[in-house]
A and B are shown apart, each in its own frame.
Chain A
Amino acid sequence: MSAEQLAQLSDLLVVAAVLLYVFAMVAFAIELAFGKGRADKPAVASSAAPEQAVAERAEARKPVAVAAGGTTAAAEAATPPDERASAAPSDDHAAVTPSGGGAAVAGSGATGSATRAAKVALALAWVGWAAHLTAIATRGLAVDRWPWGNMYEFVVAICFAAVTAFLGTQLRYNVRFLGAFVMVAAALGLGLAVKFFYTAAGPVVPALNSYWIAIHVTAAIISSGLFTMAGVSGVLYLVRGDGVSRLPSRADLERVAHRAIVLAFPLWTFAVIAGALWADRAWGRYWGWDPKEVWSFITWVAYAAYLHAKVTAGWRGRASTIVQLVAFACLMFNLIGVNVFISGLHSYADV
């Protein structure tokens, strides 16, 4: 196939992915709609505060407390009190149910239509994912370079990373409840890319012609995808009241978000540092407070604040979720806002 045909195929596949994601979203939504409502706790039926639920479950596993209590004072001191309080119940049993169980949303008595919708939704999402992957690969072949050299390609890749993060997690844990929302985010992101950022396939400016694009941008894309999944969970956390809801419990949502961020934060740190290394090669300084650098730094500090909030008394739960979403807003502003509103050295950002 010629480069032009490959580029055309890539454009078509992006549109196909958008459509498939929209259909998948509908199917995920049907599953949510027909699933059973749940209280704001994974197991216990009463509507007590989450802290109490934690205590209850700690109670149920008393020997754990004994084991922890048996440690010396030094060990206690090394563990922040909040962490200690949650050490026992935060084990995988209390975490999101393993994928095989498949009951987190639908519940054991779920109707057949919900289960069927779930299967269809996942199948559609995977097909969309494959189309999306092929779109990126054909684009890369068409331009004969890493296919994230401009805003369009970058946004397409981040949406792909977000869907991959979701589907990859789904392989091991049941996080189908996120499906509808991740699909919306991915479809909107792709739509945005096609509508506003579309750039015909072509070569990049010499500054972008470097192996650093593979390292720096890839790390940024993967971590952004994971942060997106955490962001979706965070929004659901806030949207979900603490009463009965079809959404999973707040504790589960928080756990999904935390797990994604724990993976994404070191990657983001690496992405920023790799960017500094590239800047050192390309611009003659490793850090110069270019707007993009400023916002990467802000994003990094904000996620560090989230990790701190998670272990600070009085900041867990709602407050740390809000911190997480502020950090996510910074990330999004950096990816899109900075390119559109502020000019800087990052030349790929030309829209």
Chain B
Amino acid sequence: MSVQEEPAKGQVKEQAEERPEQHVPRQVGLGPVGWLRWGWRTLTSMKTALILLFLLALASVPGSLVPQRGVDPDKVARLYEQSPTLAEWYDRFQLFEVFTSAWFAAIYLLLFMSLIGCIIPRTATYARELRRKPPAAPRRLDRLPHSASFEGDLDVEEAARRLRRLRFRVVTGDGWVSAEKGYLRETGNLFFHIALLGILLAVGFGSLFGYRGNVLVVEGDGFANTVAAYDRFIPGSQVSAESLEPFSFQLADFKVAYQVTGDKRGQALDYDAHLKVSESPGAPARDYDLKVNDPLEIDGTQTYLIGNGYAPVFKVTDGKGQVAFDGPVPCLIEAKATMTSGCVVKVPDAQPSQLGFLLRFLPTSVPLTDGTYASAFPGEVNPEVQVLGAFKGDLGLRSGRPQSVYELAPPEVLKKLTPIVMGKDVPKPLAVGQSVELPDGVGTLQFTGVKEWVTLQIAYDPGRVPALIAAGTAVVAIALSLLIRRRRVFVRIGEGGAVQVGGLTRTEGSAAGFAEEFADIVKALSAGEKHVR
């Protein structure tokens, strides 16, 4: 690109001052400033930009092939279990977080430095170009790619006026008019590249000052937007706990509509989480139907519905006849199509010994011919619970080690538990209201009802609106840059009213259609001729 060949003025002067022996042949060496200049020039050359673009595309590829921590942390964990050595190597090269890795950053920072080095001189050139007049008309217009001639009483002033009305920039001379338009092309190109910079800044700003978090809420329960209330909270480095928008809500009801007939039987058609929302502590609650594609927004903080499942309600009476547990238990979905879910109930308060249960929830339970049971439909038509196992013994909950709520106990603790119901002892599935008596009088498990849970994502990203503005600018600007052509039209007026018009476009690739436009321009110029005849 030729702009780069034109060195920045300040740089030249500086160099001349430091090295008075400027005229000495180059072989002597470039010197530090010379090297800097060379480096900058290389970085901002079109070829480097091209190579950096390739590198950026290439560097993104592993981001889609290797599981990413930010996208699918479970998959990363699984890879660590399956092939630890490979996982370690991946980790060493930051392949689990490609898009925040040092090497990815190196590429895009270089690219954006190159971009800045490209934008600055181009802006200067562009500013000069804006004030420049179109060149004088050539002598022989019939040799231009487009030309036409007609007879008329057009004079230079009138031709200039008509071209101006077509929004041409016009200069006139002795018997000629020269006009140019399509300057928006360069404007578009500059704005496009500047907008790219804007997107980068907006994304960066958003990741510093924004946060996101996930929370699971069971029907009837509530959520207040504080760091402690989240199951997973990922703040930007500049987010303080006090800055969270202080809203709260209660999940009053959750409904899913399913397709009941045809090939797509069981496919979800609509999710609806009915919330009672308080925008600030003490504010009156209002109703809100949270749906997919329709987040709840409170002052820039968005709440999204991203998942759902079942939370059957259990009541456990212990060996001493006391209620040791009573409440909903969110279950993990095992089969999405039928919403067959696995549940874990831990009862550390049971006496004389703690109790633990592994259960399976079947929303539409049907008996199979082999005597087992399965769910036939994801909706709650005939909800039943299978007891897969019951254990007694210390669940290790008081050891202080964090435990997953979806796992009865870590393997080393599980080994020490005593199974009380296993394998062939497994009773028939329980319908709502039914209970199972545990052997040896250690207690009773009752299945008392079904609730549902939702997972919500709550996100605050102050960069999203700036990013949208920059992205919108980029789209408009790139369209201008690629679709507008620079074109020139010349008019020469000879003796006796002979008018010659010539035109050309200065842009490759977008010359299509100029023939039509040229014909229209000629028509507009000669519009007066009918009256003369």
A residues adjacent to B (C-beta < 8 A): 61-64, 66-68, 70-72, 74-81, 83, 86-88, 90-93, 95, 172-173, 200, 202-203, 205-207, 209-210, 212, 255, 258-259, 262-263, 265-266, 269-270, 273, 276-278, 280-291, 294-295, 297-298, 301-302, 304-305, 307-315, 330, 338, 342
B2 x A68 contact (CB < 8 A):
no
Contact A64 B2 (CB under 8 A): no
Question: Which residues of A are found within 8 Å of B509, using beta-carbon distances?
Answer: 90, 255, 258-259, 262, 310
Residue of B471, B488, B510 with most chain A CB atoms under a 10 A cut-off: B471
- B488 with A67: CB separation less than 8 A: yes
Inter-chain CA distance A72–B60, complex, in Å, is 43
Which chain A residues border B128 with CB–CB below 8 Å?
74
What are 24 A-to-B residue pairs whose CB atoms are below 8 Å?
A: A62-B143, A63-B139, A87-B504, A88-B504, A93-B145, A203-B269, A205-B268, A206-B293, A207-B293, A209-B293, A255-B509, A269-B474, A270-B475, A284-B212, A288-B71, A289-B98, A291-B64, A297-B60, A298-B61, A301-B56, A301-B60, A304-B53, A312-B47, A315-B47
Question: Is the pair B293, A90 in contact by a Cβ cutoff of 8 Å?
Answer: no
Instruction: Kindly identify which residue among B135, B139, B304, B505 contacts A284, using a CB–CB cutoff of 8 Å.
Output: B304
- The answer to whether A75 touches B129, judged by C-beta atoms less than 8 angstroms apart, is yes
| A78 partner residues in chain B, CB cutoff 8 A | 3, 122, 125-126, 129, 186
Report yes or no: A91 in contact with B138, Cβ–Cβ below 8 A.
no
Tell me the minimal C-beta distance from B90 to chain A in angstroms. 16
- Pair B306/A311 contact, Cβ less than 8 Å: no
Q: A313-B46, A342-B64 are in contact. List 7 more A-B contacts (CB 8 A).
A: A61-B144, A63-B141, A72-B135, A79-B2, A270-B475, A277-B468, A283-B457
**Contact in complex: B294, A88 (CB < 8 Å):** no
Known contacts A74-B128, A282-B292, A269 near B475 by CB under 8 Å: yes
A311 vs B507: C-alpha distance when bound (angstroms): 11
**Bound-state Cα–Cα, A262 to B485, Å:** 12
* A62 partner residues in chain B, CB cutoff 8 A: 143
B12 contacts partner chain A, Cβ-Cβ < 8 Å: no
Kindly identify which residue among A281, A287, A308, A342 contacts B50, using a CB–CB cutoff of 8 Å. A308
* CA–CA, A201 and B507, complex, Å: 47
Asked if A77 meets B3 with Cβ closer than 8 Å, knowing A92-B515, A284-B212, the reply is: yes
Inter-chain CA distance A304–B132, complex, in Å, is 30
Assess the A294–B63 pair: CB atoms within 8 A. yes
A79 smallest CB distance to B (angstroms):
7
What CA separation (Å) do A330 and B58 show in the bound complex? 11
Contact between chains at A286 and B60 (CB < 8 Å) = no
Question: Which residues in A have their C-beta under 8 angstroms from that of B139?
Answer: 63
> Least Cβ distance of A32 to chain B in Å?
24
Contact yes or no, A312 B268, CB < 8 A: no
Given contacts A88-B145, A285-B461, contact A206 B474 (CB under 8 A): no
Evaluate whether A280 and B506 lie within 8 angstroms (CB atoms) in the complex, with A72-B132, A202-B267, A262-B482 already known: no
**Would you call B135 and A70 a contact (CB within 8 A)?**
yes
A200 to B294, CA, bound (A): 28
Q: A308, B49: Cβ atoms under 8 Å?
A: yes
Q: Given A80-B2, A269-B478 in contact, is the A301-B125 Cβ separation under 8 Å?
A: no
B511 at interface, CB cutoff 8 A: yes
Bound-state CA distance A344–B68 (Å) is: 11
9 interchain residue pairs of minimum CB distance: A284-B304, A91-B145, A63-B143, A70-B135, A284-B457, A202-B264, A266-B479, A294-B64, A291-B64
* Shortest Cβ gap from A249 to chain B (Å): 16
List B contacts of A282 (CB < 8 A): 292-293, 304
Chain B positions near chain A (C-beta within 8 angstroms): 1-3, 6, 46-47, 49-50, 53-54, 56-57, 60-61, 63-65, 68, 70-71, 98-99, 122, 125-126, 128-129, 132, 135-136, 138-141, 143-146, 186, 203, 212, 259, 262-264, 267-271, 291-295, 302, 304, 306, 457-459, 461, 464, 467-468, 471-472, 474-475, 478-479, 482-483, 488, 490, 502, 504-515
The residue in B61, B138, B293, B304 that gathers the most chain A C-beta atoms within 10 A of its C-beta is B293
B508 CB to nearest A CB, Å:
4
- Assembled-state Cα–Cα distance A90/B263 (Å): 55
User: What are the residues of chain B within 8 A of A70 when measuring CB–CB?
Assistant: 135-136, 138
In the complex, the chain B residue whose C-beta lies closest to that of A72 is B132
B136 touches A75 (CB 8 A): no
Known contacts A63-B140, A88-B145, A294-B64; decide if A266 and B70 are in contact (CB<8 Å): no
Contact B264 A330 (CB under 8 A): no
Q: Which residue of B lies closest to A285 (CB)?
A: B459
Which chain B positions have C-beta within 8 A of A203?
259, 264, 267, 269
- Please state if B99 and A67 are interface contacts (CB–CB under 8 Å): no
Name the residue on A nearest B49 (C-beta).
A308
Contacts of A312 in B (CB 8 A): 1, 46-47, 50
Find B135's partner among A71, A311, A315 (CB 8 Å cutoff). Answer: A71
Are A200 and B203 in contact, CB atoms less than 8 angstroms apart?
no
Known A87-B506, A95-B512, A202-B263; contact A338-B50, beta-carbon cutoff 8 A: no
- Given A77-B125, A312-B50: A64 touches B479 (CB 8 Å cut-off): no
CB distance from A68 to the nearest CB of B (A): 7
A269-B61 Cα distance, complex, nearest whole Å: 19
A266 to B477, CA, bound (A): 9
Residue in contact with B459 in the complex, picked from A88, A205, A284, CB distance below 8 Å: A284
Which B-chain residue is minimally distant from A205 (CB atoms)?
B268
Decide if B212 touches A205 in the complex (CB within 8 Å). no
Which residue of B304, B478, B488 has the most chain A CB atoms within 10 A of its CB atom? Answer: B478
Q: Does A77 contact B6, Cβ atoms closer than 8 Å?
A: yes
Given A64-B143, A202-B263, A277-B468, does the pair A262, B483 have CB atoms closer than 8 Å?
Answer: yes
Partner of A206, one of B60, B146, B264, B271: B271
Q: What's the Cα separation between A23 and B68 when bound, in Å? A: 47
Do the beta carbons of A86 and B508 come within 8 Å of each other?
Answer: yes
Chain B CB count within 10 A is highest, among A74, A203, A315, for A74
Are A200 and B475 within 8 A (Cβ)? no
A12 to chain B, nearest CB (A): 18
Contact among A92, A200, A262, A297 for B263, CB-based, below 8 A:
A200
Which residues on the B side are within 8 Å of A64 (C-beta)? 143-145, 504
| B50 engages A315 (CB within 8 Å) | yes
Report the separation of the CA atoms of residues A90 and B139 in the bound assembly, to the nearest whole angstrom. Answer: 22
**Bound-complex Cα distance A11 to B8 (A):** 64
A271 shortest CB reach to chain B, Å: 10
State A86–B505 Cα separation when bound (angstroms): 11
Q: Which of B46, B98, B263, B479 makes the CB contact (< 8 A) with A311?
A: B46
| Chain A residue, CB-CB nearest to B488 | A67
Q: Which residue of A lies closest to B111 (CB)?
A: A301
Instruction: Report yes or no: A210 in contact with B293, Cβ–Cβ below 8 A.
Output: yes
Complex Cα distance, B50 from A307, in Å, reads: 9
B125 touches A74 (CB 8 A): yes
Q: How far is the CB of B426 from chain A (nearest CB, A)?
A: 34
Residue from A77, A79, A210, A283 with most neighbouring chain B CB atoms (10 Å): A77
Q: In the complex, A327→B39 CA distance in Å?
A: 29
Chain B residues whose CB sits within 8 angstroms of the CB of A284 once the complex forms? 212, 295, 302, 304, 306, 457-459
- Complex Cα distance, B504 from A80, in Å, reads 18
- Give A286 Cβ to nearest chain B Cβ, in Å: 6
Task: Verify B515–A90 contact, CB threshold 8 A.
Answer: no
Q: Shortest Cβ distance from A231 into chain B, in angstroms?
A: 17
A76 to B98, CA, bound (A): 41
For A212, the chain B residues whose CB sits under 8 A away are 293
User: Are B2 and A67 closer than 8 Å at their CB atoms?
Assistant: no
Q: How far is the CA of A294 from the CA of B471 in the complex (A)?
A: 17
CB distance B304 to A283 under 8 Å?
A: yes
B171 CB to closest chain A CB (Å) equals: 12
Write the chain A residue with the least CB distance to B459: A284
User: Max chain B CB contacts within 10 Å: which of A291, A310, A338?
Assistant: A291
